[in-house]
A and B are shown apart, each in its own frame.
Chain A
Amino acid sequence: MADITAPMPGKICEVNVAPGDTVTAEQEIVVLEAMKMEMPIITPAAGAVASVNCSKGDAVQGGDVLVVIE
């Protein structure tokens, strides 16, 4: 079980996974725009997406859980 959190405040510009998807390690699952940069959020390990807590356009705070992987 891994919570994928926002590393800093920003805006979600892409969500590339849906609940039930399987992901590989270091897969780009969300793109966060912050500091005028579109940064990929990657998975630390392979697994299945348990939940997706953000959608395109959302403003998020640093530490917010974006995706849960199990």
Chain B
Amino acid sequence: MSEETTHQSAYKRLKDLQKRAEQGGGSKAIEKRHAAGKLTARERLDLLFDKGTFVELNQLAESQAIDFGMQEKKVPGDGVVIGYGNIDDRLVFAYAQDATVLGGSVGTLHGRKICRIQDEAIKVKAPIIGLFDSGGGRLHEGFFASKGVAGIFFRNTRSSGVVPQISAMMGPCAGVSVYSPALTDMIIMVEGTSQMAITGPGVIKSVTGEEVTLEELGGAKVHSEMTGQAHLTAENDEACIQLIRELLAFLPSNHLEMPPVHPSEDDVNRTDDTLEEIIPASFRKAYDMRKFVRRVTDNGDFFELLPRYARNIIIGFARMDGQTVGIVGNQPNVLAGCLDVNSSDKAARFIRFCDAFNIPLINFVDVPGYFPGVKQEYAGIIRHGAKMLYAYAEATVPKITLALRKEYGGAVMAMCCVGMGVDMMLAWPVAKLVVLDTTAAVNLIFRKEIKAAENPDEFRNEMIQAYDHKYSNPFHAASNMLVDKIIKPSETRPELIHALKMLKNKQPAEPFRKHGNIPL
């Protein structure tokens, strides 16, 4: 006859199971990870959350599969740790895949656990973080696992724009563990130890014959420079976790809240004479827009996203008078600051993220136009460029645009101007708001006259000067209310903060519809 259950014996059984779950794939597997410079799933979560606040859920969930060796291999927890806790005293949900258990593969219960914590995050409207370290679906469990996989995608999509979703890639990932991140708002990759690919080098070699390593195929460098998939990269697990915490500090918990305010000592009325040196009055001189941004924001902070992808535009978060703002700026140092396919994609998605989470947009404009060329046209610049138009017109958060130098042609609309729903259109006195560069405009308007002139060059120069004086300035635009205020460069920071304060309670009226149809 079996012994009668006591409180003590039942509790001991629990402790044994918990211990088993906490060991994951066992001490050897953990040592191997540490030797490779990687933390375990639990160590990552410990770092992510405020000390001692993480609460694990469904720790004892275990695969029900018994075939193909699963009976021996399965571990309580099923290779993923889920739960909630505080980050900077705010509630956040998270799941972390444990690659020591069956390679972190997504089995049926593993998938259900992730779905369960996603549901919780949506219910209480708090951000959710995924720490990915998995090769994808678990083959041992056949097609059963696919329901969990599909469920993760479904919830990623349904919670998009409701709560911030951040994905950290912390190991070699494929299949579900790359498509789920792709559906979330931000991806951070650990350099050297994380990779993302839909099909790995083995499959590629067997199908196309191409030989490539996993790092060459989908390492942090590839995704931060070529595909634009990774918003940020970090040199190791600790730095990656730190970036997630920094990123969250800019964001509200959900679409109904405003981002947290982080008061700063930086004077809202701080003027800066060096701004005129950073941005040369000569339009031929390039400069680094990021230097300008860092002189204007609180404490010179700029949390840049996708810094090495489509570098002709810069995007990122900063604070002005403690309030989170989303910054979009042309980068004259790269491709003269022209817009192209990739920069349009990069900016449009950022604009929509800011709009979803009540983050005002500040647009720093110095754009000569769309980058010309057959390649760009064939790559679909019309459709991709239209994304920026769509995103700005759709955005209902405060939108402030500052014309710094070039406001040329159709690209002006893509950077949000009057008529595109901008709330405050500012300009520096040297800015030129024109349809075309003056020389090009004069050559077109006076083509016949220049040809017929006694001295064509002289005539052209005269016309250039006349056209420049009339149109190539912000004064003409201001006289037509296409610029609301021309500001002194040194007063850029206080002027932007005044505008932000005025717009704080902007309450846009939205037309009822199911949803729009952004050109994708």
A binding-site residues for B, Cβ under 8 Å? 7-8, 33-40
Closest to B372 in A: A35
**Contact across chains for B286 and A37 when beta carbons are under 8 A apart:** yes
Query: A36 to chain B: which residues have CB within 8 Å?
Result: 283-284, 336, 368, 437
Q: Beta-carbon contacts of B271-286 to A below 8 Å, as 1s and 0s?
A: 0000000000001111
Shortest C-beta distance, A38 to chain B (Å), equals: 6
**Contact across chains for B284 and A38 when beta carbons are under 8 A apart:** yes
Most buried by B among A7, A36, A40: A36
B417-456 interface (Cβ within 8 A of A): 437
B binding-site residues for A, Cβ under 8 Å? 283-286, 332-338, 368, 371, 437
Query: A38 to chain B: which residues have CB within 8 Å?
Result: 284-286
Partner of A40, one of B333, B337, B437: B333
Closest to A13 in B: B284
Shortest C-beta distance, A23 to chain B (Å), equals: 17
A35 to B335, CA, bound (A): 8
Query: A40 to chain B: which residues have CB within 8 Å?
Result: 286, 333
**Contact across chains for B437 and A39 when beta carbons are under 8 A apart:** no
Given contacts A35-B338, A37-B286, A37-B368, 12 further A-B contacts (CB under 8 A): A34-B336, A35-B336, A35-B368, A35-B371, A36-B284, A36-B437, A37-B284, A37-B332, A37-B337, A38-B284, A39-B334, A40-B333
A33 to B437, CA, bound (A): 16
> Which 4 A-B pairs give the minimum distances between C-beta atoms?
A35-B336, A37-B336, A39-B286, A37-B286
Interface of A: prevailing SS: strand
Query: B338 to chain A: which residues have CB within 8 Å?
Result: 35
Query: B437 to chain A: which residues have CB within 8 Å?
Result: 36
Query: A8 to chain B: which residues have CB within 8 Å?
Result: 335, 371
Shortest C-beta distance, A1 to chain B (Å), equals: 15
Pairs A–B under 8 Å by Cβ, sample size 22: A7-B334, A7-B335, A8-B335, A35-B336, A35-B368, A35-B371, A36-B283, A36-B284, A36-B336, A37-B283, A37-B284, A37-B285, A37-B286, A37-B337, A37-B368, A38-B284, A38-B285, A38-B286, A39-B334, A39-B335, A40-B286, A40-B333
Closest to A7 in B: B335
Shortest C-beta distance, B35 to chain A (Å), equals: 28
Query: B286 to chain A: which residues have CB within 8 Å?
Result: 37-40
Query: A39 to chain B: which residues have CB within 8 Å?
Result: 286, 332-336
Shortest C-beta distance, B329 to chain A (Å), equals: 15
Shortest C-beta distance, A11 to chain B (Å), equals: 12
A35 to B408, CA, bound (A): 12
Query: A33 to chain B: which residues have CB within 8 Å?
Result: 284
A8 to B332, CA, bound (A): 13
Most buried by B among A7, A8, A35, A40: A35
Shortest C-beta distance, A9 to chain B (Å), equals: 9
Query: B336 to chain A: which residues have CB within 8 Å?
Result: 34-37, 39
Closest to A10 in B: B336
A34 to B336, CA, bound (A): 7
Closest to B368 in A: A35
Query: A7 to chain B: which residues have CB within 8 Å?
Result: 334-335
A8 to B334, CA, bound (A): 9
A70 to B82, CA, bound (A): 46
Shortest C-beta distance, B464 to chain A (Å), equals: 14
A33 to B368, CA, bound (A): 14
A55 to B335, CA, bound (A): 20
A43 to B285, CA, bound (A): 19
A12 to B247, CA, bound (A): 40
Query: A35 to chain B: which residues have CB within 8 Å?
Result: 335-336, 338, 368, 371
A7 to B335, CA, bound (A): 7
Query: B368 to chain A: which residues have CB within 8 Å?
Result: 35-37
Closest to B437 in A: A36
A36 to B337, CA, bound (A): 11
Closest to B439 in A: A36
Shortest C-beta distance, B228 to chain A (Å), equals: 16
A46 to B336, CA, bound (A): 25
Query: B335 to chain A: which residues have CB within 8 Å?
Result: 7-8, 35, 39
Shortest C-beta distance, B90 to chain A (Å), equals: 36
Shortest C-beta distance, A29 to chain B (Å), equals: 14
Closest to A35 in B: B336
Query: A34 to chain B: which residues have CB within 8 Å?
Result: 336
Query: B334 to chain A: which residues have CB within 8 Å?
Result: 7, 39
A39 to B287, CA, bound (A): 8
Closest to B332 in A: A37
Closest to B287 in A: A40
A37 to B334, CA, bound (A): 10
Shortest C-beta distance, A18 to chain B (Å), equals: 23
Most buried by B among A7, A8, A33, A40: A8
